[in-house]
Chain A
């Protein structure tokens, strides 16, 4: 080689180095000018290809301590994206494990040697000693490879791998070039990853803040709704409890009434019978005393006659009292007919009368009860429940009347329905209370006086019988409840 030729070669080499330095400077500037990971991958891979002629390159990031995943590729049919490499397996895995660059030439020859040994072992019956052959991302027929760990302060974040189908395309100088690019790429990727983590965290905080703000804005409404739900649940609970208590009370009353009837009927029968015997005996004594033979002998007996008259009156009172006791016991039984839980054909007038008899001590001479009963057929219902309705309405009517007053009970048939009206001349209901009187827990009787459940239960009983209940009221003048019951409820 002449001196001129040497000069030319040196000049060419110098020009190439200058161009490479410029490329490296450009790469350093470009990858550090962005925090977008995909842009960094693109710059690195494009530089490898277009500036250095390394057509096949992939970038892998450490996904967890034992696994690398391909995040970008260039020069592959499917860019090898998503492929994984176990740390410690293959050239890339070994580079990640040792965190040292590796340049391998004549890969196919070396692999062929190992495969030959593998076949010999299999033929020799030693297959059990062999592990699985592992496919790694990249060219399936690569013959050379440079793999460089991407590290920050000796901490591995990934691997850059460059491959070729040529047996010896990579020189030590190529190693240096790839190393410099890898170093810049590692720094830029780390910055971008940190930025992404910060951005993710910031976005989470913004979302959390927005959620918190929205929560605060709706908290008051939610508390209000929740309070209402709890109040409703409380009322439902009280209603259920009251119903249970009432059912239990009614059941006890039914049992008690049956017991009373059984225990009282026999002595009352004796009392009634004896009083009747005594009355007839007095009648006989009177008759004997009035016979002429006796009158002639004894003469007038005014003291005896007065005594017999008193005895007769007392007997009459005993008879009436015993009949009244018999009616009360019968009414009690009729009112609390819980021993007959089935739907039955019932005479509503009978139920109303039973209730009135039981409430007689409240009504007495203070309240005049007017009965405008129409012709009613029997109605199919739960007798004890309907009696409870009558008791609730009549109790309210009696309690609404302070001093003297009037209760009018009217019944009639309208088509397939029976209509029962209970009207009183009591204090009436204020308009603002009118629409709440069927709400569970609503009462105007004061704490400890009323449960506020009577009309609520009444409403539900009528509803269960597929009927309806309406109320009209005028403060100071009275209230009228109108019940409407189908004669035969639809099953």
Chain B
């Protein structure tokens, strides 16, 4: 599914399941990078927000090349969602940032990691397309 995009409810549920997501980006000179992030936040039917907590290669790549691919998995490992997204902008304040920051801080503070999991910005991506892969059929 691509144009006239409307993220289905199932993806929203997967975003909230607490499992880390895999984000793949690529530098301007074509070097790919895959990384795990703690939080994919549902913004609206065509946008998601990724937590920007560390200055890492993902951030540098999307500043050079805005295209990114996000992989989400359900808890049972049966369904995988692949989202093609484009970096749009970053928000260091506002309701989206506050919501993401509050959720991260709630867990981090009780885990003794407030200083480590410090949300620097909410990176907003427009979802260009998505597809699902059903692994249940291939699983024995």
Write out, one digit per residue, whether chain A residues 127-167 have a CB within 8 A of any chain B CB (1) or not (0): 00111111010000000000000000000000000000001
Residue B1 interfacial (CB < 8 Å): no
Using a CB–CB cutoff of 8 Å, the interface residues on chain A facing chain B are: 88-91, 93-95, 98, 100, 102, 104-115, 117-118, 121, 129-134, 136, 167-168
Q: List 10 A-B contacts (CB under 8 A).
A: A106-B18, A106-B19, A108-B18, A110-B107, A114-B113, A129-B115, A131-B113, A133-B111, A134-B110, A167-B17
Write out, one digit per residue, whether chain B residues 75-101 have a CB within 8 A of any chain A CB (1) or not (0): 100000000000000000000001000
Shortest CB-to-CB span from B11 to chain A, Å, is: 14
Closest to A98 in B: B102
Q: Output the residue of B18, B75, B98, B106 with the most chain A CB within 10 A.
A: B106
Overall SS of chain B's interface: loop
Which residues from chain A contact B106 at a C-beta distance below 8 Å?
90-91, 93-95, 102, 104
Known contacts A94-B102, A94-B106, A102-B102; A107 and B18 CB within 8 A of each other: yes
Q: Within the assembled complex, what's the spacing in Å between the Cα atoms of A449 and B117?
A: 97
Assess whether B109 is in contact with A121, with CB atoms less than 8 Å apart: no
Q: Within the assembled complex, what's the spacing in Å between the Cα atoms of A88 and B112?
A: 12
Which residues from chain B contact A167 at a C-beta distance below 8 Å?
17, 75
Assess whether B110 is in contact with A136, with CB atoms less than 8 Å apart: yes
Write out, one digit per residue, whether chain B residues 8-46 have a CB within 8 A of any chain A CB (1) or not (0): 000001001111100000000000000000100000000
Which residues from chain A contact B19 at a C-beta distance below 8 Å?
106, 109, 113
Overall SS of chain A's interface: helix
Lowest 8 CB-CB distances: which A-B pairs, in order? Answer: A109-B18, A106-B18, A131-B112, A110-B18, A90-B110, A94-B106, A114-B111, A89-B109
Assess whether A111 is in contact with B107, with CB atoms less than 8 Å apart: yes
Assess whether A121 is in contact with B38, with CB atoms less than 8 Å apart: no
Known: A89-B109, A106-B16, A113-B18. 5 other contacts (CB 8 A): A95-B106, A106-B18, A106-B19, A115-B111, A130-B112
Q: Within the assembled complex, what's the spacing in Å between the Cα atoms of A200 and B112?
A: 40
Assess whether A131 is in contact with B115, with CB atoms less than 8 Å apart: yes
Q: Within the assembled complex, what's the spacing in Å between the Cα atoms of A98 and B112?
A: 19
Write out, one digit per residue, whether chain B residues 111-127 have a CB within 8 A of any chain A CB (1) or not (0): 11111110000000000
> Which residue from A88, A105, A112, A117 sits with its C-beta under 8 Å from B16?
A105
Q: Within the assembled complex, what's the spacing in Å between the Cα atoms of A100 and B101?
A: 12
Known contacts A114-B117, A117-B116, A131-B114; A104 and B109 CB within 8 A of each other: no
Assess whether B110 is in contact with A109, with CB atoms less than 8 Å apart: no
Shortest CB-to-CB span from B56 to chain A, Å, is: 14
Shortest CB-to-CB span from A126 to chain B, Å, is: 9
Shortest CB-to-CB span from B76 to chain A, Å, is: 11
Which residues from chain A contact B107 at a C-beta distance below 8 Å?
91, 107, 110-111, 114
Residue B108 interfacial (CB < 8 Å): yes
Shortest CB-to-CB span from B81 to chain A, Å, is: 16
Which residues from chain B contact A168 at a C-beta distance below 8 Å?
13, 16
Q: Within the assembled complex, what's the spacing in Å between the Cα atoms of A117 and B112?
A: 11
Shortest CB-to-CB span from B22 to chain A, Å, is: 13
Which residues from chain A contact B105 at a C-beta distance below 8 Å?
88, 94
Which residues from chain A contact B17 at a C-beta distance below 8 Å?
105-106, 109, 167
Closest to B13 in A: A168
Which residues from chain A contact B75 at a C-beta distance below 8 Å?
106, 109, 167
Q: Within the assembled complex, what's the spacing in Å between the Cα atoms of A93 and B113?
A: 15
Assess whether B102 is in contact with A114, with CB atoms less than 8 Å apart: no
Shortest CB-to-CB span from A173 to chain B, Å, is: 14
Q: Within the assembled complex, what's the spacing in Å between the Cα atoms of A89 and B109?
A: 5
Shortest CB-to-CB span from B35 to chain A, Å, is: 13
Closest to B109 in A: A89
Q: Within the assembled complex, what's the spacing in Å between the Cα atoms of A109 and B117?
A: 16
Known contacts A102-B106, A110-B18; A130 and B13 CB within 8 A of each other: no
Q: Within the assembled complex, what's the spacing in Å between the Cα atoms of A136 and B75?
A: 26
Assess whether A118 is in contact with B112, with CB atoms less than 8 Å apart: yes
Assess whether B112 is in contact with A134, with CB atoms less than 8 Å apart: yes
> Which residue from A88, A94, A113 sits with its C-beta under 8 Å from B38?
A113
Closest to A88 in B: B109
